[in-house]
């Protein structure tokens, strides 16, 4: 089985890419499997049993649950939160239900109940084998034999990902860092993540008041250049892993170019991933794209534009070293 991943920084267009790949009759797109998992457990190198992986996927992400409980949302969250569903906004909820399974079924609770039992029955094996079995099982349900996983900001942890999936085929999608920063600024999870990463403490909030800190982050508006730094740092963290991939296992694609000519790039993607022939795939997927989104960099003041450009310079230098224009 071929391991297939789409990686990038946050707000780079990987969500759209996965939705388009989902239009292929043989592909199941898997969203956000790894982002919210325990960083110390998700890519362990020693063998583990299936029960450990089931527990890992079942563990709630406390911060995301707090954000959802405060009424904030994002397109990546697919759990329905309907009357009759097991969880309400703010409840401790298995991470795998937050974004992954709601995209694949109308009853994610029941699906996870079933798959959790199957995972727990597996004996000791490398953790990548457990993930593959889980992904394959999700594909089998829909008659799909190929999977592509993408998670937000995944280029940041690509080294760990490739440690578990050493033979993976990786599509790296990148986007103008200034537009990434503008998009992150309007995304509650990234407003929180950026301030958390760089230790920005909301003014007037008790450092021991976790709830108050989270609200301060969600409602705060840190300098726009902080998002540019975050973009640059994610690329720096993934540079060595990207540079170490041979050309037959790495395809780099620009979000802007993909939106400008989606059919052409989708054909390249299908060939790179080794997908089965599916007449009409590129046309079906390309129909989802409405051209390159309008640039928002010009909405900033001249001072903000200069500061954001400077903060994105290291990321652009990383892309240049990787051979990306």
Q: Give the 3-state secondary structure of 210-278.
A: HHHHHHHHHHCCCCHHHHHHHHHHHHHHHHHHHHCCCHHHEEEEEHHHHHHCHHHHHHHHHHHHCCCCC
Closest CA to 153 of 214, 218, 112, 197: 197
> Do residues 153 and 15 make contact, with C-beta atoms less than 8 angstroms apart?
no
- Give me the pLDDT at residue 75, please: 86
Cα 3 to Cα 132, 143, 146, 162, 287, distances in angstroms? 8, 17, 8, 10, 27
CA 98/CA 61 separation, integer angstroms: 9
- Give me the pLDDT at residue 325, please: 62
For 36, counting Cβ atoms within 10 Å of its Cβ (0-12 exposed, 13-18 middle, 19+ buried), the class is: buried
CA 79/CA 54 separation, integer angstroms: 18
- pLDDT averaged per 10 residues in sequence order, the chain, 325 residues: 95 94 96 96 98 98 93 92 97 97 96 98 98 97 95 97 98 98 95 94 92 92 97 98 98 96 95 96 95 94 98 98 88
- Give me the pLDDT at residue 69, please: 94
Cα 317 to Cα 182, 235, 276, distances in angstroms? 20, 10, 36
How much helix, strand and coil, in percent to the nearest 5, is found in the chain?
50, 10, 40
- Give me the pLDDT at residue 246, please: 97
CB count, 10 Å around CB of 114? Answer: 12
Structure tokens at 315: 């990321």
- Give me the pLDDT at residue 119, please: 98
Domains (range + CATH), the chain: 4-26+145-321 (3.40.50.300), 44-126 (no CATH)
CA 246/CA 77 separation, integer angstroms: 34
Give the global pTM.
Answer: 0.96
For 77, counting Cβ atoms within 10 Å of its Cβ (0-12 exposed, 13-18 middle, 19+ buried), the class is: buried
């Amino acid at each position: 089985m071929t391991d297939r991943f789409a990686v990038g920084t946050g707000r780079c267009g990987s969500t759209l890419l996965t939705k388009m790949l989902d239009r292929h009759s043989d592909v199941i797109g898997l969203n956000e499997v790894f982002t919210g998992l325990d960083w110390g457990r998700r890519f362990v190198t020693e063998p583990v049993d299936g029960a450990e992986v089931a527990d890992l996927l079942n563990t709630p992400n406390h911060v995301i649950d707090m954000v959802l409980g405060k009424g904030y949302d994002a397109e990546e969250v697919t759990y329905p939160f309907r009357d009759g569903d097991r969880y309400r906004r703010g409840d401790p909820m298995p991470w795998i239900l937050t974004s992954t399974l709601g995209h694949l079924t109308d009853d994610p609770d029941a699906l996870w109940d079933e798959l959790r039992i199957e995972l727990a029955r597996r004996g000791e094996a490398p953790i990548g084998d457990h993930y593959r079995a889980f992904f394959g099982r999700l594909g089998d349900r829909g008659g799909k034999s190929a999977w592509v996983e993408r998670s937000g900001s995944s280029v940041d942890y690509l080294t760990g990902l490739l440690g578990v999936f050493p033979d993976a085929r990786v599509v790296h999608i990148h986007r103008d860092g200034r537009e990434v920063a503008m998009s992150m600024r309007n995304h509650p999870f990234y407003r929180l993540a950026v301030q958390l990463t760089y230790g920005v403490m909301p003014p007037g909030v008790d450092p021991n008041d976790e709830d108050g800190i989270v609200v301060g982050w969600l409602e705060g508006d840190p300098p726009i250049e902080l998002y540019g730094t975050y973009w640059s740092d994610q690329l720096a963290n993934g540079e060595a892993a990207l540079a170490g991939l041979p050309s037959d296992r790495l395809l780099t694609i620009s979000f802007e170019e993909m939106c400008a000519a989606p059919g052409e790039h989708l054909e390249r993607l299908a060939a790179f991933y080794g997908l089965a022939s599916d007449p009409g795939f590129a046309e079906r997927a390309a129909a989802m794209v409405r051209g390159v989104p309008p640039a928002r960099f010009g909405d900033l003041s001249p001072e903000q534009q200069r500061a954001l450009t400077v903060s994105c310079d290291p990321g652009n230098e990383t892309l240049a070293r990787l051979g990306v224009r």
